[in-house]
Structure formats: C-alpha cells, structure tokens
Structure 1
Amino acid sequence: MLQLSVSNLLFTIINLVVFYLLLKKFLIKPVTNIMEKREKMIADGLNNASAAQEEAAQMKQEYTAALAGAKEESVKIVEKAQTQAKAEYDRIVAEADEKAGSLLDSAKSNIQLEQEQTKKALQSEIAGLAMAAATKIVSEKTENQGNQGIYNQFLEEVGDAHEDPDND
C-alpha cells in the first residue's frame, strides 16, 4: 500500500524541486530563448516586409510619375512632329505653286514667242508666194507693158502689206 511518511514526502518534494530546476535550466530556458529569437526574427521580418512594401509603393509612385511624364513628353514630341510636318507640307506646296506658276508663265511666254515666230514665218512665206505670183504676173504683163512700172507697182503693194501687220 501506500505509505505516507514524512521522509518519503520530503524526498519526493526534493526530487520535484531538483527536477523542476533541471527542467528549467535545460529545457525551459533554451526553449524560451529559441521562442524569443523566433519572435524577434518574425518581428524583424515583418518590419522588413513593411519597409519593402513602403519602398515598393514609393517606387510605384515614382514609376507612375515617370510614366505620366513620358506620356506627356511623347504627346509633345508627336505634336512637334505634326507641326514640323505641316510646316514642311506648306513649304513644299508653296514651292510647287511657285514652280507651277513660273512654268505656266514660261509656257505662256514660249507660246507667245512661237506665235510671233509663226506669224513672221507665215508673212515671209506669203511674201515669197506673192513674189512668185507677182513674178508670173509680171512676166505675162511685161510682154504687154514696160517692166519697170510693173515692178514698182508690185513693190509698193507688197511694202504696204508688209508694213501693216493688222491686215491679216
């Protein structure tokens, strides 16, 4: 049976106290230290994570601002390119108009010059034909009249016609 004696009870209490001290020294303290280290490591990890998250948020804001700036700059570049293209287009159109105008003026002057040359050529040809006709007429009439009078009359008529170009 169970006997309860003071020496037994005292011995059990001493055993329990020694057991408690041993457990405290070899088990509870190392486990507590490990728990504290883990707790500190977790707290540091959380602090690092929130610092990284804040840094990421800041970088995102910087990226968003840079992207907005890049968009604004690209819009400005496109507008500038459009302005330059329009100015170049206007310049090219003005040059083309100017060249077309000068070509048109040149063509008009060439046409007028050719008309004048053609008129002169036709007048010369008409004069030549008239001379040939007059020669035939004169040769026929010389038989009937004196040569000198016919030639003088012909030259007066041809000279009047040649000096007055309005009688086309």
Structure 2
Amino acid sequence: MGIQALMAVTAVTETQDLVTLVPWTFIITICNLFIQVFLIKKFLFKPINNILEKRQNLADKVIKEAREAKEEADSLKDQYESSLTNAHAEAAQIVQDAQKEAQTKADALVQDAQKQATDIKAKAAADIEQEKKKAINEAKDEIGGLAMDIAGKVVEKEINENDHKKLIEDFISKVGA
C-alpha cells in the first residue's frame, strides 16, 4: 500500500493545487486582466470608436446634404410651377389680346368695305344721273334738230293735210327710233 497511497496523496495535492487560491497568482492574474483591458481599450476600442464616429459624421453629412438638396429641389419645383402658371396666364392674355385685335381689324375692314360700297353706290347713282341728263340733252338736241328740219320743210312747202300727217308720222318714227 505504500506506492498507491503515495500516488493518491500526490494526486490529491495536485488536485488541491488546482483548486486552491494562491494570493500572488491571483494578484498577477488580476493585474494581467487589467493590463489586457487597458490595451484592448486603447488600441482596439478607441480606433474602432473613432472609425465609427467618422462614419457617423459622414452619414450625417450625407443626410444633411440630401435634405438641403431636397429643399432646393422643392424650391425649384415651386418656382417652376409658378413660372408655368404665369406662362399659362400670359399665353391666355396674348390669345385674348390677339382675338381683340383681330376683331378690331375685322370691324375696321367691314366698315371700310361698307364705306367703299356706299361710295361706289353714290358714284354709280351720280354716273346714272349724269348719263340720264346726257341722254335727255341728246334727246332734246335731236328733237330740236328734227323740229328744225320739219320747220324748214314746212316753210319750204305749203303743207296740206296729207303732208302734215306724213311729217308727223316721220317725226314720230324718227323720235321712236
């Protein structure tokens, strides 16, 4: 039983060494843990936090620029819509002015045409009246000439009743022609 007991005692001692708390080992382990946490914080967390902060700032900047661009686009859209409304109103005014001007010109043309028609009618009436007077004067001249011819013939010869009728019939036939 000697060797076996010695081995059992050694195994118990080794087991107790693993389970027992040695103060110096515990202090060194705690110090080692604090050093590791300090080094991880300094060399790992700070750079990662800096990178994350830079990315956050960049994302905030992009979002801010997008909002500004959206506001500018909305402003431009409002300006465009107001310009479009003004253009429609201006186009309607131009059409209305053109219609008024066309109506005015049409009225002026109608008045000019009526005036010309009135002038033409007046001139035609004056021409007709002049031609009528001319025809009457020519008829008077011709009648006067015929009367002179008849008077000359009557004076030349003595007129009997048959000759008188013949002269009247010749006079009527010449006047009728």
TM-score by length of 2: 0.65
Where does 1:134-153 land on structure 2 (aligned, <5 Å)? Answer: 134-136=151-153, 138-139=155-156, 141=157, 144=158
Amino acid at match of 2:63: L
Where does 1:4-153 land on structure 2 (aligned, <5 Å)? Answer: 4=18, 15-136=32-153, 138-139=155-156, 141=157, 144=158
Structure 1 residue 51: deviation in Å?
2.2
Structure 1 residue 36: deviation in Å?
0.6
CA distance in 2, matches of 1:22, 1:132: 159
Q: Which moved more, 1:55-64 or 1:89-98?
A: 55-64
Structure 1 residue 24: deviation in Å?
2.6
Deviations 1:63-86 (A, max 9, x none): 212211221122122112211221
Structure 1 residue 38: deviation in Å?
0.7
Amino acid at match of 1:35: L
Deviations 1:19-52 (A, max 9, x none): 4433332332112111111111111211221222
CA distance in 2, matches of 1:45, 1:30: 22
Amino acid at match of 1:45: V
Deviations 1:78-124 (A, max 9, x none): 11221122112111211211121011101111111011102211222
CA radius of gyration, larger in: 2
User: Would you say how many aligned residue pairs link Structure 1 and Structure 2?
Assistant: 142
Q: Which has the higher contact order (CA 8 A, sep 6+)?
A: 2
Amino acid at match of 2:44: L
Q: Which moved more, 1:19-28 or 1:59-68?
A: 19-28
CA distance in 2, matches of 1:9, 1:115: 152
What is the RMSD of the two structures over their aligned residues, measured on CA atoms? 2.9
CA distance in 2, matches of 1:19, 1:125: 153
